[in-house]
Structure 1
Amino acid sequence: MIDSTRGRRGSALSRLDKWTVLLYILLVFLGWMNIYAAVYSEEHQSIFDTSQEYGKQMIWIITSGILILFILLSDARIYQSIAFPTYAVTMLLLVLVLIIGKEVGGNKSWIQIGSFTLQPSEFAKFGTVLAMARYLSLLNVDLSKWKYRWWPLLIMGLPFLLILMQPDTGSALVYISFFLVFYREGLPGSYLFLALLAAVSAIFSLIYLPIYVIGVIAALALLTVFIVRKSRRMIWSTVFIGLFASAVSFGTDIMFNEVLQPHQQSRIQILLGIKDDPMGVGYHTEQSLIAIGSGGLTGKGFLQGTQTKLNYVPAQSTDYIFCTVGEEWGFVGSSVTVLLFVILMARLVFLAERQKSKFSRVYGYGVVSIIFIHFAVNIAMTIGLAPVIGIPLPFFSYGGSSLWGFTVLLFIFLRLDANRWSEL
């Protein structure tokens, strides 16, 4: 498995994209510093104290370095061969966690190993991206044709359903990001329209009774059919769109009432303005906004955050880590953090487009899509633009499973990129 060959442009290490590595190091370091700031106390001042979260994060960072070294020394060609087996193993772990998993925060998402816990859903991400890239890179696979769309939906849908059963809605929603990959690889643009229509139908179904929404859809469909009655194709398209929107509306009502937990329902209702509960479920978002807003332009200074120090902000080292950035480093620090993520994602898109093989390109877009949805939802969650669903900020939030998962996800792609000259 160790790569004994050298490409036309030197070793894998010399061909590694230095800008992406630098951005990774910056984000991991800044994340570590903000974890330290979030849980800092006078009794535990050493950043190397392994009894505290920041000390444990240091261990995760060091072990991530070992994983990186292993990936860089491996033969890049091995990843196509192990794509489906890796996917199968990660799916088995998702099944296993439902049987023997440890329940944390109402979610049965963790496997206890001694004094440590691992979250299989974090590792399922790179397993799914590998499998998706392997299938889409097979000869003659064309997403513009229906017969080739079922396997990608199955590859994406299996982890989605298994994680939803834990139930971990936030981690499950990450897999929707694969539609960005599908679009890049030839899925017709009409599907983006259907996705937008589904989102609008779902939102209106949460605000109003589904029967009213379906009634409006039916009325609009009938009006459209009357206008385009001379075109049989347009009539059937209108009927399909109407049935699709109605199904989404009906399905949204079932999922909201039967799948989501009460606190998740309340968070969505607060976000949509259906109800106001600043001292209940909405308390977390309210405190998050206060913490970020109190930072002003340049922040209160490192280790000077009051909202985080007094534990007003929940999960301040994990899901709400961005609050620490906003409070202690202000608008400037928050903007720099966001900019680093944007530059990283833009760089990854550039790398994906320069790949010589379809496998590497699809994998690259899978990496970008997953990082994007984590970044967008986490930031939106902390500033009240998305419901609180519990999703970490990549490379920043505390947690070994998250850091390991994103590190492996990213550096497999960098290893593939370093090998692109010998792919064809």
Structure 2
Amino acid sequence: MSGRSILKRIDWLSVLIYFALVFIGWINIYSSTFTEAHSSIFDFSTLYGKQLFFIGVSLIAIVIILGLEVNFYERFSSILYLITMVSLLGLFVFGKTIAGATSWYDLGFFNLQPSELAKVATALALAKYLSDIQTDIKRRKDQLYAILIIIIPAILIVPQPDPGSALVFFALIFVIFREGLPLFYLSIGVSFILIFLITLMFGTIWLVIGLALLIILLFTFKRKTFKIPVIPLTIVSIITILFSLSVNFVFNNVFEQRHRDRFSLWLRLENDPTKLEQIRKTIGYNTYQSEKAIESGGFFGKGFLEGTRTKGDFVPAQHTDYIFSTVGEEWGFIGTASVILLFSILFLRLISLAERQKNDFARIYGYGVICILLIHYFINIGMVIGILPTIGIPLPFFSYGGSGLIFFTVLLFIFLRLDTNRLKESF
């Protein structure tokens, strides 16, 4: 396909939203890092200057991605996955430690974070495997292999330690559900999460009482309409209680103190208001200041470069994980709503693009892109406004960082390149 044909067939709505998010993100990075000593936006010693350089590299990456034959991505997906796994292993020997995490390779002019490339490689490898087996993934062996593709990079990333990045990979499980994995597995996962949270908040005793009441109600109102499977119900109840009993041990002996503090802050586990406030001002300091910055912006915001909390460096890591707080303070509700609207339109558009693919590989990869971007968006915004614990996940196309911006760009534009080769025309 010629370059002109690609430009005609590429989805320009997605491209325009991408550039809008990158531009707005850079404007807020500029605002959150600007000082009077800086004189030029092209000063590459500044953070906003470096981000401008990363934007330029991303543009080059787009040109390369669109120029490659569409079959290239499917043909070499497995090789890229293997190379990426080796690069993750290499971090344990050659990695550079930043902020307590050995997640980067020091290339001199640039710190490369292979976990970002791993997201692209894993989405491609998963799409390759699921499209190759040509089944609705009912066989246990197929389910196991697909899940292993997701779990392997997560296992390699957790010890860096970078649990936030590892969590992103589990979002790809929803791609497997889209391709036919029984919802039974999802219900099990959600159930264990709920048991974990309920046990932390109320304790095992109240969980057992609630379970007993549920069983009594089940026997009281449903026994006449269908036969209740007593043995499976008993097994499920025993597993539930045993898992609940293990929660406190894991929480107190496996989790580090900073992890316990974040859960205590998020779930309000600490009954002593003084201790809770102390946790809020230490481990939850970033979120606390972020909330205050957003609140101070009001409806219209304080104006560009006029954010007092932003200028006063009240919010740590504001140009990276907490960049959304700059939008809230300087652009107010209007600005934050506009950013959320742009992301929402992008997600809806990508879903539309994925659904119109006749090629299985392109469709599955498209849903992988959606899952990765969506979990980053959801967790980052939730973290910044205080409804989710802080786990250090950047906002796609928005937060400062070369690896993040470049590989989010690669992730998106590979799918847009695959879409140019679609066989089915649709809105």
State the AA in 2 paired with 1:174. Answer: V
CA contact (8 A) 1:221 1:238 kept: no
- Name 1:42's counterpart in structure 2: 36
Task: Find 2:74's aligned residue among 80, 85, 89.
Answer: 80
- Name 1:327's counterpart in structure 2: 329
- Name 1:123's counterpart in structure 2: 117
Task: Find 1:403's aligned residue among 405, 408, 413.
Answer: 405
> How far has the Cα of 1:132 moved from its partner?
0.5
Task: Find 1:21's aligned residue among 10, 15, 20.
Answer: 15
SS at match of 1:103: strand
Higher mean alpha-carbon deviation, 311-320 vs 274-283, is at: 274-283
CA contact (8 A) 1:352 1:360 kept: yes
SS at match of 2:352: helix
What TM-score comes out, normalization by structure 2 length? 0.91
CA contact (8 A) 2:106 2:112 kept: yes
SS at match of 1:165: coil
- Name 1:65's counterpart in structure 2: 59
What TM-score comes out, normalization by structure 1 length? 0.91
CA contact (8 A) 2:382 2:388 kept: yes
Give the 5 Å matches for 1:289-368: 289-368=291-370
- Name 1:187's counterpart in structure 2: 181
CA contact (8 A) 1:318 1:398 kept: yes
CA distance in 2, matches of 1:101, 1:379: 29
CA contact (8 A) 1:316 1:324 kept: yes
CA contact (8 A) 1:264 1:388 kept: no
- Name 1:378's counterpart in structure 2: 380
User: Is 1:238 the counterpart of 2:237 in the alignment?
Assistant: no
CA distance in 2, matches of 1:381, 1:335: 17
SS at match of 2:103: strand
State the AA in 1 paired with 2:294. Answer: I
Task: Find 1:148's aligned residue among 122, 142, 147.
Answer: 142
> How far has the Cα of 1:225 moved from its partner?
8.5
CA distance in 2, matches of 1:247, 1:337: 44
Cα 1:142/1:252, change in 2 over 3 Å: farther
Higher mean alpha-carbon deviation, 150-159 vs 254-263, is at: 254-263
> How far has the Cα of 1:338 moved from its partner?
0.6
Higher mean alpha-carbon deviation, 179-188 vs 316-325, is at: 179-188
CA contact (8 A) 2:105 2:113 kept: yes
> How far has the Cα of 1:337 moved from its partner?
0.3
SS at match of 1:67: helix
Higher mean alpha-carbon deviation, 309-318 vs 237-246, is at: 237-246
Cα 1:112/1:218, change in 2 over 3 Å: same
Task: Find 1:137's aligned residue among 131, 134, 138.
Answer: 131
CA distance in 1, matches of 2:417, 2:243: 41
User: Is 1:201 the counterpart of 2:195 in the alignment?
Assistant: yes
- Name 1:265's counterpart in structure 2: 260
User: Is 1:212 the counterpart of 2:214 in the alignment?
Assistant: no
**Which runs of no fewer than 5 residues in structure 2 stay unpaired?**
271-275
CA distance in 2, matches of 1:69, 1:113: 23
> How far has the Cα of 1:242 moved from its partner?
3.2
Cα 1:11/1:258, change in 2 over 3 Å: farther
CA distance in 2, matches of 1:422, 1:193: 34
SS at match of 1:385: coil
CA contact (8 A) 1:264 1:389 kept: no
CA contact (8 A) 1:221 1:239 kept: no
Task: Find 2:418's aligned residue among 406, 416, 423.
Answer: 416
- Name 2:89's counterpart in structure 1: 95
CA distance in 1, matches of 2:124, 2:355: 17
CA contact (8 A) 2:357 2:424 kept: no
> How far has the Cα of 1:208 moved from its partner?
4.0
> How far has the Cα of 1:47 moved from its partner?
1.9
> How far has the Cα of 1:169 moved from its partner?
1.3
* Number of equivalences: 416
Cα 1:152/1:25, change in 2 over 3 Å: same
- Name 1:389's counterpart in structure 2: 391
Cα 1:309/1:162, change in 2 over 3 Å: same
How large is the Cα RMSD of the aligned pairs?
2.4
Cα 1:233/1:81, change in 2 over 3 Å: farther
SS at match of 2:306: coil
SS at match of 1:11: helix
State the AA in 1 paired with 2:135. Answer: V
State the AA in 2 paired with 1:369. Answer: C
Cα 1:19/1:247, change in 2 over 3 Å: farther
CA distance in 1, matches of 2:292, 2:358: 48
SS at match of 1:111: strand
> How far has the Cα of 1:284 moved from its partner?
1.7
**Which runs of no fewer than 5 residues in structure 1 stay unpaired?**
none
CA distance in 2, matches of 1:405, 1:334: 24
SS at match of 1:420: coil
State the AA in 2 paired with 1:29. Answer: F
> How far has the Cα of 1:237 moved from its partner?
4.0
CA contact (8 A) 1:217 1:242 kept: no
CA distance in 1, matches of 2:201, 2:177: 30
CA distance in 2, matches of 1:237, 1:26: 53
CA contact (8 A) 2:131 2:361 kept: yes
Cα 1:190/1:366, change in 2 over 3 Å: same
SS at match of 1:108: strand
State the AA in 2 paired with 1:212. Answer: I
